[in-house]
Structure 1
Amino acid sequence: MTIHPRRFAISVLTVLFGAAALLSSGPAHAQPDGVELTATVDDRDIAGRSGADPVVLTPDSPAAIAVTLRNNGAQQIEVRRVDLTGEVLGLRFFSYSTAVGLKIAPGKTETLRYDLDPAGLEGQATGLIAGRLAVVGADGAELGHVGTVTDVRGSIRSVYGLFGIALAVLTALALLDAAIGIAGHRLSANRWQRGVRLLAPGVGIGLVFGFTTSVLRWWVPDTGVWLGAAGAAAAVAFVLGYLSPTPDSGPDDAFDPEFATVDVSGNADTVRIVSRGPIA
């Protein structure tokens, strides 16, 4: 199977940015003013957590969640559900919704406590993933949210793990295709085309780097930083391709029809091309 680098690069970036736009966009509702939200998991505040101190989510261990809401507005608010999600590059890899029926009068503060059973988390994700706890009102509008960092103790065979493995396989195929082209002197003589030929492996290397550091719990895959790393790797690969030596012309390239004559033999069905060489 032949890998088309330009198509691969365009397809990867289109899917990633398109999915980010579709999945990260929520309902077009304005968030109410005067709503204060704090949340804890296992009695620890989840706001401002980092890769060095993430919220640990284990598939076989329930998490005690407490959500405190203060209504500073002039109207009563109603909480419909609480959503805990984890996203990478705008793609949602785990999501848990808990239905509630909490009403908060103006000027009042209420705390909602419940145990979250993360069943099935092992097959959804693994590693450091950006998390988000959001409170949704009765009309579907988001009342508030808290960003955090989660350490999901799932399996490499999870959806997120298979996503990274697929990226690695596609990147390896793109690298192999480029290596074969370089070894066989089949790259284009045009510098821009050589740069584009190495663009796809560069994009893949950047994406695989982000996935690897996430799974190994070295780094939180923030969307902007991850895409920036992929763009930087793609730029380096393009420059390497652009500056690579121009392939030597093969024997077939030495033939120029301008310096050839047509020798028609006695047999009308036989036409022989005789090279006369360059004219001195």
Structure 2
Amino acid sequence: MLAPSTAAAQGGSVLLEADVDGRPVGVGNLVLKPSEAAKVSITVRNGTDTVQRIKTVRISGTALALTFFTYDTTVPFDVPPRSAETRSFPLEPTDLGSQALGLLPVTIEVVDVQRETIASVETTGDVKGSLWSVYGAFGLGVLVLTALSWAGALLALARRRLPANRWQRAMRFLPAGIGTGLVAVISLSVLRLVAPSPTAEIPFIVGAAAAAFVLGYVTPHPGERPPSSLDADTVRIPR
């Protein structure tokens, strides 16, 4: 769910409104194309009794508690008490294609001279990046590690080398389940179906982890390895 296009800072008295290429942030997805410059306009409404000194406008994209791109634009201006100020500036995300792709939560915030966030607004960004971007490579890395985790667990099951304790067997499968949940979240983001967010991430990751944990718990007891027919202690030499 998208955040409203107006956000409050500390005290709830400083509000930020933003639009990109004339479209209000928070209405639909914010399309970001590395090959195209965008015109960003922000309005800061100061409802306090003190001057708000803006220094920087920051636009960032995050997923899974990780920041994949950040653009800081220096736009110094003051907002007098009980008034509003509007500023516009161009955004040229030329290197965005190598940083992210797909649907990502995007935050626009105004930062003061002490580098403190005064107010912010959140939306979902549709980044037209490359599969080989940092975010894409991160997803591929998680996919490879998850595949290796499943292969290791299932191979140990086939060779009857899992721990005898059920809880230990469940923990052996748990990393593969967590990885499966992460792969699902990243895949839905890259395919532009669902943007990563706590409400989307937690059910996928926890659900996949729980399923893998239960699978490991109910796997059959490995038991003792059957004795080899060539075991020296069991071979009888006819007389």
TM-score by length of 1: 0.76
> CA shift at 1:33, angstroms?
4.9
Task: Compute the displacement of 1:54 (Å).
Answer: 0.9
Structure having the higher Rg: 1
> Who is 1:165 aligned against?
140
- Return the offset for 1:247: 2.2
Letter in 1 for 2:19: T
Q: Distance in 1 between matches of 2:163 and 2:82?
A: 70
Pick the aligned partner of 1:82 from 45, 57, 64.
57
| Match for residue 163 of structure 2 among 188, 192, 196 | 188
Aligned residue number for residue 31 of structure 1: 10
Q: Distance in 2 between matches of 1:88 and 1:45?
A: 22
Tell me which residue corresponds to 2:113: 138
Which residue identity does 1:189 align to in structure 2? A
Contact map agreement 1:206 1:234 (CA 8 A) in 2: yes
Q: CA RMSD, aligned part only?
A: 2.0
Name the aligned partner's letter for residue 138 of structure 1.
V
Aligned equivalents of 2:196 and 2:15: distance in 1? Answer: 27
1:16 maps to which residue?
Answer: none
**Within 2, Cα distance between the matches of 1:33 and 1:247?**
60
User: Over residues 6-59 of structure 1, what are the superposed CA-to-partner deviations in whole Å (9 max), with x where a residue is unaligned?
Assistant: xxxxxxxxxxxxxxxxxxxxxxxx836521210001111112x4xxx3100000
Q: Percent identity?
A: 39
- Which residue, out of 233, 239, 245, partners 2:214? 239
Q: 1:241 Cα shift?
A: 1.2
Q: Aligned partners of 2:138, 2:10: CA distance in 1, in Å?
A: 33
List runs of 5+ in structure 1 lacking aligned partners.
1-29, 254-271, 275-280
- Aligned match of 2:93: 118
SS of equivalent to 1:56: strand
CA–CA separation in structure 2 for the residues paired with 1:40 and 1:180:
53
Give the 3-state SS of the residue equivalent to 1:85 in structure 2.
strand
Name the structure 1 match of 2:82.
107
The aligned counterpart of 2:21 is 42
Per-residue CA deviation, residues 78-109 of structure 1 (Å, 9 max, x unaligned), is 11000000001111001000001111111221
> Which amino acid is the alignment partner of residue 37 of structure 1?
L
**1:87 counterpart letter in structure 2:** T
| Aligned residue type for 2:108 | L
Gap regions ≥5 residues in structure 2: 1-8, 235-239
Match of 2:184 in 1: 209
| TM-score normalised per structure 2 | 0.88
Look up the equivalent residue of 1:221 and give its one-letter code: P
The letter for the 2-side match of 1:233 is: A
